[in-house]
Amino acid sequence: MAQRSETIDETGIEQLDAVVIGAGFSGLYMNYSLRDRLGLDVRVYEAGDDVGGTWYWNRYPGARCDSESYIYCFTFDKDLMQEWEWSGKYPEQPEILRYLNHVADRFDLRRNIRFGTRVTAAHYDEGADRWLVETDTGERVSTRYLVTAIGCLSVGNVPNIPGLETFAGEWYHTGAWPHDGVDFTGKRVGVVGTGSSGVQSIPVIAKQAGHLWVFQRTAQYTIPARHHTVDKAFLDEIKKDYDAIMEKARWSYGGMPISPIERSALEVSDEERLEIYEKAWAEGGFAFFRGSFYDIATDRRANDTASEFIRSKIREVVKDPEVAEKLVPVDHPFASKRPLIDTEYFETYNRDNVTLVDIRHWPITEITPEGIRTEDGFYPLDIIVFATGFDAMTGPFNRIDVRGRGGQKLRDKWAHGPSAYLGIASAGFPNLFMITGPGSPSVLSNMPVSIEQHVDWITDLIAHMDAHGVRRAEPDPDAEEDWVAHVDAVAGKTMYLLADSWYLGANIPGKPRRFMPYAGGVGNYRKRCDEVAAAGYEGFVLT
């Protein structure tokens, strides 16, 4: 049990052991782990008015998880794993939010969370080895440990289009959706963006809208989800062997219990390859990517076979050949961007009330009070939906004034791209730990698995520090540099550098290009983290 801090210092500032920023999956579990396992005095700050993070904010129509329900959850409590009943294969947003509320209630996690409170600044006081944390409600607290659970996809990206402020209708970003919903009935709706949120919301909005215009910059590869392929009997069966299944996920590539595939797409006959793709397509979901051939992700020729198969499916589904060609991705290989899964996405373009607008060749020039103007036309609209994604991974950090030793700003240190040892900590910022930070598997994985691994690892490090009287832990700059070079090198062996994606920061004008997540796999990463801990936190300077 750690030494507890005094509550208030002589200047009247509250003294805490730990501050956690964010109350999504990461913040909830970090709170539990530091508070209930280590007995620390913890405060959680959350900008939203309740728990849930991603699932609190993203309430757009069709919002759901692409990870299968039984792996998209916590595993730290066996009773919780057994008692929660998922309704099907991929839970929708309300169901995940219910789950996170249940977790918060079950472990009494709300009592030390300050909701509706955004952390604006965190400055390290070298003399005291403490962080001074400030919020937008004027709170100031001092803490020994600062943990960011601020999410990789929590800062929405609304494109800077001239005239948006003049638009007379309603507009929304999918990542900050109104809690009481939006009524599209009979309305002229424009959806801008065809990434994951666009692909999920477009089919649902199309069913309600009078007419829907989809403004597409990048055509996408997306795999049918096939929700119906999982039922209650299957989920009950999982629970009989749940521990082993999740252990497999922990040591897998993507945090999913999928066995590594030995087969190469280039070593089978054309007929056999087609049969395997057809089977995976019929099964749906990420299994197409991870369960058909091992080299889709690493070999361009193997990848071409998968990309071409999906293109053929698009041409098969979309009836108008001209529209189909616009929907066929040709400028990047499959899985060089975040793989998408969908429900009747391509089928939606067969509807009479849906029009695809190509803004790759004829970009949007302005928004007027009446609608959207592109280089080749004008589209009168009542509602605009920006499904334009997020300022991923570094965005939430850049919105906090984080200053470490010598007053160095994290923003400045990361001006040319983020740099963090194991994606957990950054040199010059002692006792600041990041859950799913840049340089960790994070967004390339089924995230609850990665989140639990980070929380457990950070908890062990803090327990180690307390047990050994360590006041400061921060990465050795050389270890950090080596790790960042390793992250770059691993990304270089994949398809990921072949597309302009948010993984690289390419969706945000002016954002430095660096492949931010770690593509070496969840299992390999876990092994490295375990080795670092076993070697007395090798690569960290413990003072």
Pairing type for strands 364-367 and 371-374 reads antiparallel
Binding status of residue 302 toward ligand FAD by CB under 6 A: no
24 near ligand FAD, rule: CB under 6 A: yes
Q: Is 402 in the site for ligand FAD (CB under 6 A)?
A: no
Task: Kindly identify the residues of this chain, within the stretch 151-190, that bind ligand FAD according to CB under 6 A.
Answer: 151-154
The correct pick among 5, 20, 34, 48 for binding ligand FAD (CB under 6 A) is: 48
Check if the beta carbon of residue 19 is closer than 8 Å to that of residue 34.
no
Minimum CB–partner distance for residue 103 and ligand FAD (Å):
12
400 binds ligand FAD (CB under 6 A): yes
What is the closest distance, in whole angstroms, from the C-beta atom of residue 248 to ligand FAD in the complex? 16
Distance of alpha carbon 278 from alpha carbon 281, whole angstroms? 5
Question: Are residues 427 and 421 in contact, defined by beta-carbon separation less than 8 angstroms?
Answer: yes
Quick one: which of 119, 146, 306, 327 contacts ligand FAD (CB under 6 A)? Answer: 119
Which stretch, 421-429, 444-452, 503-511, 532-540, contacts ligand FAD (CB under 6 A)?
444-452
Bridging pattern class, strands 140-148 and 14-21:
parallel
146 touching ligand FAD, by CB under 6 A: no
In the stretch 59-88, what mask flags binding to ligand FAD with x, by CB under 6 A? Answer: ----x-xxx----x----------------
54 binds ligand FAD (CB under 6 A): yes
Residue 457: strand, helix, or coil: helix
Q: What's the CA gap between 265 and 294, in Å, rounded?
A: 8
Instruction: Provide the β-strand partners of residue 418.
Output: none
Cβ atoms of residues 2 and 17 within 8 Å: yes
The kind and range of the H/E element at 232 are: helix 232-240
Residues 30 and 454: beta-carbon distance below 8 Å: no
Residue 392 contacts by C-beta under 8 Å, 6 or more apart in sequence? 152, 153, 443, 502, 503, 505, 507, 516
Residue indicated by tokens 């601020």: 150
Is 53 or 257 the residue whose CB approaches ligand FAD more closely? Answer: 53
**Helix (H/G/I), strand (E/B), else coil: 517:** coil
- Considering the rule CB under 6 A, would residue 410 count as an interface residue with ligand FAD? no
Contact call for residue 122 and ligand FAD (CB under 6 A): no
Alpha-carbon distance values, 23 to 85, 154, 236, 273, 282 (Å): 22, 12, 29, 44, 37
Among 5, 17, 19, 25, binds ligand FAD (CB under 6 A): 25
Q: Between residues 255 and 520, which has the closer beta carbon with respect to ligand FAD?
A: 255
Place of tokens 């096939």: 226
Among 436, 453, 459, 501, binds ligand FAD (CB under 6 A): 436
C-beta separation of 396 from 515 below 8 A: no
- Closer Cβ to ligand FAD, 382 or 391, answer by number: 391
Pick the binder of ligand FAD from 18, 20, 27, 336 (CB under 6 A).
27
Tell me which of 34, 47, 147, 470 binds ligand FAD, using CB under 6 A: 47
Tokens of 478: 């050389």
Binding part of the chain for ligand FAD, among 57-65, 78-86, 277-285, 501-509 by CB under 6 A, reads 57-65
Binding stretches for ligand FAD (CB under 6 A): 21-27, 45-48, 53-54, 56, 58, 63, 65-67, 72, 118-119, 149-154, 196-197, 396, 400, 435-436, 446-447, 451
